[in-house]
């Protein structure tokens, strides 16, 4: 009989319990909660890494730790059909939930956030490789986000403000059940001036960059697109061709068996070969992703070996332009999950393979 998603993940946590000699483990971090429950959400505020309810995982049983404000919603909407028993406190006494967890599980408990009482143990390494069911959810999210970004970008007009573009994107995302966790919009000179351009009331004239990281059921996709309303300078097109070539170098070498550090080195070599050897130092280049926008920023020292089922978002940039999509590694190689057929492409030949990268959309 095929094991369910939560059974597989519970087995992974049981190994941690055994290795660390723990009686139980408390999950509170939003990314870990979504990972363990197959897409459940435990947050109320979205500007925090930690949730309003927790899970207690033991060798034999699973528990929901919640106050009376959240408990019914969590059981009915986030954990429906999952084998959790309830530990519920009235809201003004919910600081006692972890003490109740001790009485149930024992004195030696791990936790996924800094805590004076319990041992902090990071379990984000358990998120990857993604299971087949997670990859399918991720692919659907990638297409949903790519289609929304393409539609909005085709509707952008000069004199719109960056905030108006952000508002249109937000409407598409929220109305489709997704949440924009990063939304950067840069018009004209702000593309060159800032690597992280938070949207402002600046009006668009000739050129705009759209950068999004979008969340659904715990998973996050990232992508960047560029739109122009007239022919740009030869320098920008040269830089964009170069950054696409660099991105293709990152993507093509993101294969099972390679180290993340080696992929990074290939990308940095591509910066040099395209004539922009110092640009990589002006911004990080991305790294593994999934239940976080990036688990960490890749460097040449990153020794982790890539496996099938790993997800990545590389984001090389050259002043004035950028290239970024979300990819999943499989036996067939890296697959881009945020492509849209209505977007112009640049085909880059890398080591005998053709990698398509998004061109600048001219409206």
The residue extents of the domains of the chain are 5-126, 132-362
pLDDT, residue 1, reads 62
pLDDT, residue 242, reads 98
| DSSP annotation of 282 | G
The answer to whether 259 touches 306, Cβ cutoff 8 Å, is yes
Closest CA relative to residue 266, chosen from 284, 283, 248: 248
pLDDT, residue 16, reads 98
Task: Write down the residue that tokens 């197959």 correspond to.
Answer: 38
Closest CA relative to residue 346, chosen from 226, 234, 195, 229: 226
Task: Write down the residue that tokens 């999943």 correspond to.
Answer: 328
| pLDDT tens-place string over residues 222-265 | 999 999 999 999 999 999 999 999 999 999 999 999 999 999 99
Give the fold, CATH level 3, of 5-126.
Creatine Amidinohydrolase; Chain A, domain 1 (3.40.350)
Work out the average pLDDT over 147-158.
Answer: 98
Q: What is the largest CA-CA distance in the chain?
A: 69
Helices (H), the chain: 5-19, 30-37, 71-73, 97-105, 132-155, 162-175, 189-193, 234-252, 260-273
Least confident of 51-55, 91-95, 202-206: 91-95
| DSSP annotation of 62 | E
Work out the average pLDDT over 111-120.
Answer: 91
Work out the average pLDDT over 48-72.
Answer: 97
Rg (CA), the chain: 22
CATH class of 132-362: alpha beta
The answer to whether 198 touches 184, Cβ cutoff 8 Å, is yes
């Amino acid at each position: 009989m095929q094991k369910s998603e939560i059974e597989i993940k519970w087995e992974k946590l049981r190994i941690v319990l055994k290795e660390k000699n723990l009686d139980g483990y408390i999950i509170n971090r939003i990314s870990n909660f979504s990972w363990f429950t197959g897409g459940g959400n435990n947050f109320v505020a979205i500007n925090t890494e930690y949730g309003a309810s927790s899970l207690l995982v033991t060798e034999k049983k699973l528990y929901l730790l919640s106050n009376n404000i959240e408990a019914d919603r969590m059981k009915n909407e986030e954990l429906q059909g999952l084998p959790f028993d309830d530990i519920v406190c009235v809201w003004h006494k919910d600081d006692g939930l972890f003490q109740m967890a001790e009485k149930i599980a024992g004195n030696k408990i791990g936790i996924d956030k800094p805590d004076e009482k319990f041992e902090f143990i990071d379990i984000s390494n358990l998120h990857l490789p993604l299971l087949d069911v997670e990859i399918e959810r991720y692919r659907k999210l990638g297409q949903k986000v790519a289609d929304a970004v393409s539609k909005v970008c085709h509707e952008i007009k000069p004199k719109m403000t960056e905030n108006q573009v952000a508002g249109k994107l937000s409407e598409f995302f929220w109305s489709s059940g997704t949440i924009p966790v990063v939304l950067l919009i840069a018009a004209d000179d702000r593309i060159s001036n800032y690597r992280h351009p938070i949207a402002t009331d600046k009006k668009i004239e000739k050129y705009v960059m759209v950068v999004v990281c979008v969340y659904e059921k715990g998973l996050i996709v990232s992508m960047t697109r560029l739109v122009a309303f007239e022919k740009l300078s030869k320098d920008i097109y040269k830089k964009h061709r170069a950054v696409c070539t660099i991105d293709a170098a990152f993507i093509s070498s993101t294969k099972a068996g390679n180290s993340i550090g080696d992929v990074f080195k290939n990308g940095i070599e591509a910066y040099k070969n395209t004539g922009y050897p110092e640009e990589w130092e002006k911004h990080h280049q991305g790294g593994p992703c999934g239940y976080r926008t990036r688990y960490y920023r890749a460097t040449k020292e990153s020794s982790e070996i890539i496996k099938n089922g790993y997800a990545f978002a590389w984001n090389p940039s050259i002043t004035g332009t950028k290239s970024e999509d979300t990819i999943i590694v499989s036996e067939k190689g890296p697959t881009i999950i945020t492509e849209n057929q209505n977007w112009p492409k640049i085909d880059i030949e890398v080591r005998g393979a053709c990698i398509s990268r998004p061109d600048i959309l001219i409206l």
